Amino acid sequence: MTRAVNRLERTQLLERPVADVFAFYSDAANLEAITPPFLRFRILTPTPIAMRAGTRIEYALSLHGVPVRWRTLITRWEPGVCFVDEQESGPYALWRHTHTFEPRGNSTLMRDVVDYREPFGALGQLAHVLVVRRLLDRIFDYRRDATGHLLGRAGRSLSAAIEASTRLVDEARA
């Protein structure tokens, strides 16, 4: 019997054109700026990373003090529209993260949809209820807030947002 797939969804309106928002998310190095510092997230793949279908990215992070390695594969790449990353190895039995970008005038409606399932059968299901669901909510709430801070203000250039994201990463590591 296959367990149901869990789904996390976030939608956010950013005061930037799709080209800017997609460019920000296309740069894997920006993941560090929008990931909570408590995860101690690092990209292990040498940067810059050429993003396209077939690109693999390796990460390291810490979950409750336990080191975790994670590798994702970009399985779909439509510049300015969407991309999908899927876990090849890591903490989940299934992880499929779809990022979509829709123009709304001079703004962008960005959607994250993550379909995931924990390993270990009933024990994984229990972990989902007790820990994982809340942890993912916390991570994606932080991601939403950091993205809004970096890209959401009218009048800021993308380069200023990227510089600010670099400062956030440096501060988190200090």
Helical (H) or strand (E) element with 18: helix 18-26
**Residue for token pair 């203000």:** 153
The C-alpha atoms of residue 27 and residue 143 are separated, in whole angstroms, by 15
Looking at residue 133, its pLDDT comes to: 86
Classify the phi-psi angles of 115: left when phi > 0, otherwise alpha if psi is within -120 to 50, otherwise beta. beta
Q: Is 171 exposed, middle or buried (0-12, 13-18, 19+ CB in 10 A)?
A: exposed
Helical (H) or strand (E) element with 146: helix 133-151
pLDDT digits (tens, 9 = 90+) for 24-78: 999 999 999 999 999 999 999 999 999 999 999 999 999 888 999 999 999 999 9
Q: Is 2 exposed, middle or buried (0-12, 13-18, 19+ CB in 10 A)?
A: exposed
Mean pLDDT of 4-11: 91
Residue 128 has pLDDT above 70, yes or no: no
Cis geometry, peptide bond prior to residue 103 (ω within 30 degrees of 0): no
Looking at residue 28, its pLDDT comes to: 92
Looking at residue 131, its pLDDT comes to: 72
- Is the pTM above the cut of 0.85? no
Identify residue 6 by its one-letter amino acid code. N
Nearest of 91, 86, 48 to residue 67 by alpha carbon: 91
Identify residue 20 by its one-letter amino acid code. D
pLDDT digits (tens, 9 = 90+) for 133-168: 898 899 999 999 999 999 865 333 444 444 444 444
Residue 174 has pLDDT above 60, yes or no: no
Nearest of 64, 6, 72, 5 to residue 36 by alpha carbon: 64
CB 7 within 8 A of CB 101: no
Task: Sketch out the chain's domains with CATH numbers.
Answer: 6-168 (3.30.530.20)
